[in-house]
Copies of this chain bind each other. A is one copy, B any other.
Amino acid sequence: MLIHVDPGDELAIYDQIVRQIKFAIANGIVLPGELVPSVRELAKQAAVNPNTVARAFRELQIEGVLETVRGTGLAVTKAAPKRCRSDRLELIRVRLRAVLHEALQSQLETAEIRQITDEELSRLHELATHTPRNGSRE
């Protein structure tokens, strides 16, 4: 499970980690009972401070997505996949709603908004296609 963090993002680093782990669980990349990467390991991989990772994990623990296995690590709970799947949609939806609200408020027409959305989607799609996983083609 790889986590990529963008320090320039509007979201806090710990929140980016929280979300990406939820997405990974929602998509079955880690299964219930399995351990997520250790704090130190994930911190090294994502090049952030271990405390920041720990904070993300704490949040996930409070939400019941992860549980500690004493002296062993953090495991995905049984209830996590279901919760993460519904969370995934909601997390996106909330952010999207805020942006669309502002767009409408700024007098943009619905048609214009749809067009911009499509433009951005295809731009992102292209980007993803040309730099498959690690940007090796760059």
Contacts and interface: CB of A to CB of B under 8 A. Distances in A.
B124 A101 contact: yes
Contact of A23 (B9, B23, B105): B105
A39 interface: no
Nearest to A88: B106
B99 A99 contact: yes
Nearest to A16: B102
Contacts of A9: 98
A136 interface: no
Nearest to A101: B124
A25 to B, nearest CB: 11
A137 interface: no
Contacts of A117: 96, 100, 113-114, 117
Contacts of A89: 108, 116
Interface string A90-103: 01110111111111
Interface of A: 7, 9-10, 12-13, 19-20, 23, 26-27, 49, 62, 70-71, 88-89, 91-93, 95-108, 110, 113-114, 116-118, 120-121, 123-125, 128
